[in-house]
């Protein structure tokens, strides 16, 4: 029995899909159930399931946030996550797939269709391993939240957002996220973000021919003037001077260490 595929269902109302769960068990697959995202993440780390069936509309932490957190646990990243949900808008389906879900199935599907899709993804997926980081150290819940926040902000360098929005999108609250950055990174959330934006601007200056306004907008500054001031303050040279020095193969003294 232990060699049979293990499926984790994360759904706040599993009683509404009782017939689907029973169909899965009839295939002699092991099925575990978590009724919220926090419990689901704990069970995924402890059990290393072969596949996760995930609802979208759950209270407090929704399915999209759960998927984002799962991706920050190195040994759980390869587990296929299939959305099994009644959330059927085009936007929700696209968001689920763009976040890394491998399939999107509606709860009113035929049981045979669910079995067929699960069977395909079980065949394609590698078996999960215990949840440890790349260096063999177990990943803590704080590690997961911090990494998810950093990854999310790197993807949104051009956007304006509040601390509350980022915290919500990684399943926590603003004070906890702020404390994590101070304790683990030695800086504030927005100081870290500013550094990331400026580091990305160095790459854009060196590797592209984009103008200053385009670079400024691409990394979240309102104007080329604001960007130039921030860059000169941090790097000791203007963006134009930095680009010219890189193009001419000259060294540029930007000795302050990269935060994070």
CB-based contact 72:171 (threshold 8 Å): no
The vertex-11 CA angle with 9 and 13, nearest 5°, equals 130
Residue 258 reports pLDDT greater than 80: no
Residue intervals in the chain for CATH 1.10.10.60: 141-247
Query: 105: part of which helix (H) or strand (E)?
Result: strand 103-106
pLDDT in tens, 87-133: 889 998 898 898 889 999 999 999 999 999 999 999 887 655 554 54
* pLDDT at 252 (0 to 100): 58
What's the CATH number for 141-247?
1.10.10.60
CB-based contact 114:17 (threshold 8 Å): no
Domain 6-124 in this protein, CATH class:
alpha beta
- pTM > 0.95: no
Q: Which of 68, 77, 74 is nearest to 153 (CA)?
A: 68
* pLDDT at 2 (0 to 100): 52
* pLDDT at 38 (0 to 100): 87
* pLDDT at 127 (0 to 100): 58
Residue 259 reports pLDDT greater than 50: no
pLDDT in tens, 165-205: 999 998 899 999 999 999 999 999 999 999 999 999 999 99
CA atoms of 207 and 193, how far apart (whole Å): 21
pLDDT in tens, 203-255: 999 999 999 999 999 999 989 999 999 999 999 999 999 999 998 886 555 54
Residue intervals in the chain for CATH 3.40.50.2300: 6-124
């Amino acid at each position: 029995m232990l060699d049979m595929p293990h499926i984790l269902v994360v759904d706040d109302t599993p009683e509404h899909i009782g017939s689907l769960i029973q169909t899965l068990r009839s295939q002699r697959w092991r099925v575990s159930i978590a009724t919220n995202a926090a419990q689901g993440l704990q069970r995924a780390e402890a059990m290393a399931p072969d596949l996760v069936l995930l609802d979208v509309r759950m209270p407090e932490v929704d399915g999209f946030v759960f998927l984002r957190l799962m991706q920050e646990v190195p040994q759980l990243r390869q587990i296929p996550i299939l959305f099994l949900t009644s959330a059927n808008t085009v936007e929700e389906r696209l968001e689920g797939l763009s976040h890394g879900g491998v399939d999107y199935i509606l709860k009113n599907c035929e049981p045979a269709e669910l079995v067929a899709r699960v069977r395909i993804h079980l065949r394609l997926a590698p078996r999960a391993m215990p949840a440890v980081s790349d260096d063999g150290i177990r990943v803590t819940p704080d590690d997961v939240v911090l990494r998810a926040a950093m990854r999310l902000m790197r993807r949104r360098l051009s956007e304006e957002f509040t601390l509350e929005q980022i915290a919500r999108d990684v399943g926590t609250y603003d004070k906890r996220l702020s404390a994590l950055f101070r304790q683990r990174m030695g800086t504030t959330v927005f100081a870290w973000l500013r550094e990331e934006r400026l580091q990305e601007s160095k790459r854009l200056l060196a590797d592209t021919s984009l103008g200053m306004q385009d670079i400024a907008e691409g990394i979240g500054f309102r104007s080329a003037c604001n960007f130039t001031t921030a860059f000169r303050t941090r790097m000791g040279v203007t963006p134009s001077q930095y680009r010219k020095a890189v193009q001419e193969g000259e060294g540029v003294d930007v000795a302050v260490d990269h935060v994070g």
